[in-house]
Amino acid sequence: MPAVTVENILVLPRVPAPDPVVARPRAVRSLTSAPKGLEGEGFPVRRAFAGVSMRDLDPFIHMDQMGEVEYAPGEPKGTPWHPHRGFETVTYIIDGTFVHQDSNGGGGTITNGDTQWMTAGAGILHIEAPPPELVASGGLFHGIQLWVNLPAANKWNPPRYQDIRGSEATLATTPDGGALLRVIAGSLAGQDGPGATFTPITLVHATVSPGAAASLPWPSRFNALAYVLAGRGSVGTDRRPIHVGQLAVFGDGEALNLSADEHQDAASPALEVLLLGGQPIGEPVVHYGPFVMNTRDEIIQALEDYQAGRLGQIPASALPHRQPDDVRLPEAGR
């Protein structure tokens, strides 16, 4: 169950259903299942975008669903120190706590609905880990890490952070109150979320009650993706069935339709879905490990700059960690 919720959904502003005369509902172009993997020091993830072409994802690069997992005491895991260049990481913690520290003097705790938006830009080193008390106690952990590409013009920007508390997400609902819509970034029918991005995007976490349906306006210039975090339902014009760990890529149009099945598993009583879309950047993408650039030469330069310490240094007051992998880079990224 997501930490951010409301007592009375009916007091929230309503997102009106799109006008069927002018808004074309989007069909599902592809539906894929996220393979399971391990990230960092071995926490369980689902690779949400596996098997989807960069062209369909643009401006997004990569997304991991972290958990949902109920850790035993001593089990919670994080990442070692590692670099990034050329894009933004968006870490949204639905339940649980992650501590973050970086080479730029930034850091802090994100917990229960908080989002940390890190623009890596020209380069940064960081670590993401559960706090010691959570390692000791174990407990629930569930979140998302999304990578948003930067256009060439912004890849060399200095690093930037936005710490967005769960209480800052803009909450709205559908006309009948059947869905709780948390707007984290961008805009949904005039409901503006707190996250600011270089590339225009919209990021919404929707909880759709069993048996409820939602029809949401979506800008035609944005692509549109729906990733199911929990539960089961259907999406698109032909009501394609979709369940936890699956991603739908939508075709053209101005409206997104989704509905939650009447019957849900006891462990996840509603359809939890992440809706995301953005304006495609339309530039060449070369993604290697933790770097996302426009050319292969820029990737080689990023590796050289990292090895020469030009992406930053681990601060003296670093969180407990093992040494970073020197040249061995992750296959998919972190």
Report the C-alpha gap between 124 and 313 in whole angstroms.
8
Residue nearer to Mn ion on the CB measure, 85 or 182: 85
Backbone angles phi, psi at 3, to 5 degrees: -70, -35
Cβ at position 118, least distance to Mn ion in Å: 8
Q: How many residues bind Mn ion (CB under 5 A)?
A: 1
Alpha-carbon separation of residue 135 from 53, 81, 131, 132, 198 (angstroms): 37, 18, 6, 5, 35
Provide, rounded to whole angstroms, the least separation between the CB of residue 84 and Mn ion: 6
By beta-carbon proximity to Mn ion, the closer residue of 85 and 334 is: 334
Q: Which is nearer to Mn ion, 116 or 264 (CB)?
A: 116
State the nearest-atom distance from the C-beta of 305 to Mn ion, in Å.
Answer: 17
Spatial distance between the Cα atoms of 157 and 120, rounded to a whole number of angstroms? 8
Between 64 and 254, whose beta carbon lies closer to Mn ion? 64
Scanning 18-26, 215-223, 253-261, 326-334 for contacts with Mn ion by CB under 5 A, the matching segment is 326-334
In the complex with Mn ion, which residue's Cβ is closer, 40 or 113?
A: 40
Closest distance to Mn ion from the beta carbon of 156 (Å): 19
x/- mask, Mn ion, residues 275-314, rule CB under 5 A, reads: ----------------------------------------
Determine the Cα–Cα distance for residues 258 and 89; give it in Å rounded to an integer.
27
- In 3D space, the residue among 272, 273, 257 whose CA is nearest the CA of residue 215 turns out to be 257
- Omega cis (within 30) before 59: yes
Tokens 């080689």 — which residue? 300
Q: Binding of Mn ion at residue 334 (CB under 5 A)?
A: yes
Cβ atoms 220, 254 nearer than 8 A: yes
Cα angle 208, 241, 250; round to 5? 85
Q: In the complex with Mn ion, which residue's Cβ is closer, 90 or 188?
A: 90
Compute the residue count for the chain: 334
Per-position x/- string for 174-203, each x denoting binding to Mn ion as judged by CB under 5 A, each - no binding: ------------------------------
Compute the least distance from the CB of residue 229 to Mn ion, in Å. Answer: 20
Task: Note the residues at the interface with Mn ion (CB under 5 A).
Answer: 334
